[in-house]
Amino acid sequence: MTSTKRPEHREDCPFFRDQVTHRITEIRSRETPADPPTGYFEVLRPAPEKLAQRPEEDASDDRTRHASVPRLARLLWRLIDAAGTNKVAPVAHEYETASIKLEFEALGRASTKIEIAPGIELGRAFWTHANALHSRRAYAMLRQLAKSWPSGHAPQGFMALFSPHVRGHVVDVPGAEAIHVANRVQSPSVRGNLIKGPFLVMIVAGEYPEAHGYAPLRAYAQPIFSGQRFIPVDSEFERSVLRELFKARRLLDAGGVDLAIEKPVFDRLTTQGSCRPDFLLEARSRLTGEIKQLVVEAMGFSDDDYLTSKATTHPRMRLLGPLLTIEPTDVEKDRVGDLIASALDL
């Protein structure tokens, strides 16, 4: 058995049964606001000195406000936004071929500008390879940092990993042993269906009594476009639309138009309320210098609740720019590029 509290059979046990990854249904729906997390880049809180003592209120603990959106998820989105991996520059402005190395380097640079606790930058306790845990190098660093960790904050470290798939408590990692997390890996689902990988997984490590030290405690698996592009996606259909946007980007570049793509990870404010477009495009004609914006919505579902949600938020999105909706038939008939070119009219 694997635990003394809520035991499960080991994977090599004949009674082992794979546990489904913890799904967070509709985590990115329009009814659940996604604001940037407040406070420091931290998830764990110090344990109260006495059992009956309640931890002091902390601005970093906003679970009641966003009960359906784990803080670890929004911290990952914050890091992605700071790193800019949710943005794609025009073809002419990309000087290196997209790669997993460049994406992780971007996350690493962003981590040096964010604090876990007062005076402690995320970059000092941030890793992007599973061997940092397997070799226990990450735990050694945490023990060292814990000696001077500010009062009122729990020592903790973070790891961002590329994973083709996750299952139960397990994060599979190419080229390394899988990582076993104390709690089940959380990941979003749409209409009850888990979004397929690949994933960018954020793991938080902290003190774990059962391990008599530090261990990976929680993980959130964010579906992304690919291993070369850490762009978050909210459904498999969004991946398809994003592929079409990349094709349109190349076609427009050949026609003298620069196209930048952004996948917003947090809500945008408008005079009519907040909204979160699926994609934001900005195009600039190299001939005239004219710039135009376009809001792209991936209409991958047809049920009443989904359409009602879209009907509510679309008027707000139109305040950000002209709105173009992409449906499955547009992708199937390979006409997304033509629709974008027509909407931009550059």
Q: What angle do CA 13, 135, 7 make, to 5 degrees?
A: 30
* C-alpha to C-alpha distance for 329 and 300, rounded to whole angstroms: 10
* C-alpha to C-alpha distance for 34 and 17, rounded to whole angstroms: 35
pLDDT of 52? 45
pLDDT for 316-342, tens place per residue? 899 999 999 999 999 999 999 999 999
So where are the chain's domains?
A: 22-223, 236-344
pLDDT of 189? 82
For tokens 């606790």, name the residue: 117
**Using an 8 Å Cβ cutoff, are 251 and 312 in contact?**
no
Q: What angle do CA 66, 71, 73 make, to 5 degrees?
A: 110
DSSP-derived letter for residue 40 is S
What is the model's pTM?
0.86
Strands (E), 172-262: 179-180, 186-190, 193-194, 199-208, 213-223, 257-262
* C-alpha to C-alpha distance for 290 and 294, rounded to whole angstroms: 13
Query: Could you check whether the bond before residue 315 is cis, i.e. omega within 30 degrees of 0?
Result: no
* C-alpha to C-alpha distance for 183 and 170, rounded to whole angstroms: 9
C-alpha dihedral sign at 9, 43, 131, 97: positive
What stretches in the chain show pLDDT beneath 70? 1-20, 23-33, 48-67, 192, 302-309, 311
pLDDT of 341? 94
Task: Label the pairing between strands 126-127 and 156-163.
Answer: parallel
* C-alpha to C-alpha distance for 252 and 90, rounded to whole angstroms: 10
**Using an 8 Å Cβ cutoff, are 221 and 198 in contact?**
no
What tokens does 129 get? 């390879």
* C-alpha to C-alpha distance for 253 and 91, rounded to whole angstroms: 7
* C-alpha to C-alpha distance for 165 and 221, rounded to whole angstroms: 9
Residue 113 identity? K
| CA distance between the termini of the chain | 64
DSSP-derived letter for residue 281 is E
- Give me the torsion for CA of 185, 208, 131, 229, rounded to 10°: 30
For tokens 């992409």, name the residue: 326
Q: Which helix (H) or strand (E) holds 305?
A: helix 304-317
